[in-house]
Amino acid sequence: MKILIIEDETELSKSIAEYLSGGSYLCEFATTFAEAMNKIEMFQYDCIVLDIMLPDGNGLTILEELKKQNKQDGVIIISAKNALEDKIEGLQLGADDYLTKPFHLSELMARIYSIIRRKQFNNSNIIIQNKLQIDLLAKTVTINNQNIDLTKKEFDLLL
């Protein structure tokens, strides 16, 4: 799963990426508005973690551009702004979630997982395709009710 972290605080970005990489997520970074716009035009992401206060622009403009381009990337706004109006504006513009700084990384990962599950796996933790069954939470695979041992990479490729 590919995540774009749009955050100008490099230490926070690194901390988020380090934590998420333990959960099988591949993270890319954008620290400026311009860099973020370039990445969203060129690539598709499973989820975007978006700070709305960037040094050279507003993250909400990025959100508007995503919607204008009809992109289906999930978006979680992370912001120091915790006024109700800011949250409502972000959600009305199309964000899937809004998380106020400071936050627990485990909560961010759970919210990312929830968005990806809802968008890609029809809100289910178990994918069933004929005789193949994949449990997303347990990270297990069975065929004809027999467990199949896969490496982390093999599991990710299968998904």
Looking at residue 122, its pLDDT comes to: 60
Looking at residue 107, its pLDDT comes to: 96
Looking at residue 128, its pLDDT comes to: 84
Query: What are the helix and strand counts (H, E) for the chain?
Result: 6, 11
Looking at residue 83, its pLDDT comes to: 84
> Is the bond into 102 cis (omega within 30 degrees of 0)?
yes
Looking at residue 136, its pLDDT comes to: 79
Looking at residue 121, its pLDDT comes to: 65
Q: Using CA atoms, how far apart are residues 23 and 26, in angstroms rounded to an integer? A: 9
Q: Side chain identity at 20, as an amino acid letter?
A: L
Average pLDDT, consecutive stretches of 10 residues, N- to C-terminus, the chain (159 residues): 94 95 90 95 94 92 90 92 88 92 94 86 73 86 92 84
Looking at residue 156, its pLDDT comes to: 79
Q: Using CA atoms, how far apart are residues 127 and 134, in angstroms rounded to an integer? A: 5
| Element of type H or E holding 142 | strand 140-143
